[in-house]
Chain A
Amino acid sequence: MVEKKAGGRCPWTMGREKRRTPSAEEGQGQGEGAHGTVVRKIHVPLSKEDALSLRVGEMVLLSGQMVTGRDRVHRLLVRERPGKEEIPFVLEGGVLYHCGPLIVKEGDAYRLIAAGPTTSMRVEMYEAEVIRQYGIRGIVGKGGMGEKTRAALQEAGAVYFNAISGAAVYLADRIRKVVDGWRVEEFGAPEAMWLLEVEDFPAVVTMDAHGNSLHRTIEDLSRENLRKLIRE
């Protein structure tokens, strides 16, 4: 459990470099960020064991497949509850990326131009149910999510990754392929569900499967700081 502490260095980064020594049974590699931060390589879709091994504050590089979904996809999944046979992609154990890409069709293929994360909080009212109903193991987005999702992640053994907000070109270059799209005509390109193949896609674990949330920690910390600033 991450401790709350006002002012100074944030508690969740303290000693992290030491804690992340490589472990043979993890089966996932490690690398280094630009400033010596330890970065863990993770394959997606990820197993429950992988999800449980991740901790808030860890930087990861995701490789494998993930699907996109934003406002309309979430509304669809919760309101109309399409069955597994209706959705062309496997969501069970999958990673759902909150992203409305800038994508163009060239002949029969799609070319991705920019694909950063969108604000996750907008789908807070749907996400817990999506995680439960469709067995989602990982969410990628930005800005974090609320208590309902935090509880659902803990219950399901799933994690939330905060991608680098706005770094849409850098991230698009880590998406190797747009495999296919679903509801592209009906929802429009930004709102459709896309299956993407990613390689070394950087993100930070900000909500883990153990109930920890970096967003909550930062909110608590900034609330303390706010109180000091406006009550003095």
Chain B
Amino acid sequence: MLKLRDGIVELYRKVATSIPTDVEEALKRAQAEEAEPLARESLDIILKNISLARTTSRPLCQDTGFPVFFVKVPRGLSHQLIKDVIRDATRLATQKVPLRPNAVNSVTEKNTGDNVGELFPLIYTEEIPEQTLTVDLMLKGGGSENIGQLYKLPAVLESGEGEGVPAERDFEGVRKCVLDAVFKAQGRGCPPYTIGIAIGGAKDQVTALSKRQLMRRLNDVHPDAALSAFETGILREVNALGIGSLGFGGRATALGVKIAAAERHPASYFVDVSFACWANRRGRLVW
């Protein structure tokens, strides 16, 4: 288990100091296609920052995020044991990478100093029949976490001022919610964003599911044709809003949109929208 712990420390280092190839490629494309001078300059510095962080092995953002783990555990291996190892690895990674201490006690306001506390890091485990342990880590920036939105349809959206816009219980309603969420976010969560969406019938179901979509590769294709078409269409529309890189205007508001639809209760129709900043830091350790 010591080896697993050290493997997770290295996973922390990799995820904090580099961004996935697909995200970097998408940022390069966005920069090449951007016509707005300030947005282009900002993307230029972002790309320089990415390569500087990688070559000097420093965290590319000072906000090393809220660590969220999605772990696939082989049958027979204790989930609690895995959680303990992750918490140990987190303490070690905080010193070694280093990570910024981000765990703040909500009652005393004291920073725990080692990124470990009540439900911190956040760890989701599931059992799988295979014999490989898979540890996925997302370092979720606070700025992009704060701009996420939860909608309960039907709803009247206030965006755009004047009389509200009705959002019904259908894809058209979901589409309006996503555009509303991006409009409300403006440039505050460090665009170009990766956007995760979930539709379902329970609040906790959709918030976790939309965040999980941020782990998908930008170039993957949703197996459901309707949802795949939705992802492509809404990305085009989000990028027509004109918010752009860092909110400086232009086309590059989002790099990708990923959606999931869960079964829902007949009475409930929730839509959750999660955002990742341009530094969508995710990585995998296979054990």
Contact = CB atoms under 8 A, between A and B. Distances in A.
Q: 5 tightest CB-CB pairs across the interface, nearest first?
A: A143-B188, A114-B62, A10-B249, A167-B49, A188-B111
Given A114-B62, A223-B183, A168 B49 contact: yes
B61 A170 contact: no
Nearest to B167: A230
A30 interface: no
Contacts of B241: 222, 225-226, 229
Given A162-B246, A166-B49, A189-B101, A37 B143 contact: no
A100 to B, nearest CB: 7
Given A169-B52, A215-B186, A226-B159, A10 B242 contact: yes
Output the residue of A57, A118, A168, A221 with the most chain B CB within 10 A: A168
B202 interface: no
Interface in A152-183: 162, 164-173
Interface string B64-107: 10000000000000000000000000000000001111100000
B38 A37 contact: yes
Nearest to A36: B37
A6 to B, nearest CB: 8
Given A142-B188, A218-B244, 14 more contacts: A114-B62, A116-B63, A143-B190, A168-B61, A171-B49, A172-B62, A215-B247, A218-B243, A221-B242, A223-B161, A225-B241, A226-B180, A230-B159, A230-B180
A37 B41 contact: yes
Nearest to B247: A218
Interface in B188-220: 188-190
B101 A188 contact: yes
Given A34-B44, A188-B101, A223-B159, A165 B243 contact: no
B42 interface: yes
Output the residue of B40, B98, B143, B277 with the most chain A CB within 10 A: B143
A93 B67 CA distance: 39
Nearest to A122: B146
Interface residues of B, number: 62
A128 B48 CA distance: 34
Given A13-B249, A223-B159, A102 B38 contact: no
A121 interface: yes
Interface string A101-120: 11010000000011110110
Interface of A: 7, 9-10, 12-13, 16, 33-37, 57, 59, 99-102, 104, 113-116, 118-119, 121-122, 142-144, 162, 164-173, 188-191, 202, 204, 206, 214-215, 218-219, 221-223, 225-227, 229-231
B134 to A, nearest CB: 28
Contacts of B49: 164, 166-171
Contacts of B179: 226, 229-230
B59 A168 contact: yes
B45 A202 contact: yes
B246 A115 contact: no
B98 A170 contact: no
Given A114-B59, A164-B246, A230-B160, A170 B52 contact: yes
Nearest to B59: A114
A230 B46 contact: no
B160 A35 contact: no
A219 B46 contact: no
Interface in B146-188: 146, 157, 159-161, 165, 175-176, 179-180, 183, 186-188
A222 B183 contact: yes
6 contacts: A13-B37, A168-B62, A218-B187, A218-B243, A225-B240, A229-B240
Nearest to B166: A230
A119 B188 contact: yes
Contacts of A13: 36-38, 249
Contacts of B40: 35
A169 B54 CA distance: 10
Interface string B248-269: 1110000000000000000000
Contacts of B41: 33-35, 37, 59
A87 to B, nearest CB: 21
A165 B249 contact: no
Contacts of A34: 41, 44
B250 A10 contact: yes
Interface in B95-127: 98-102, 111, 113
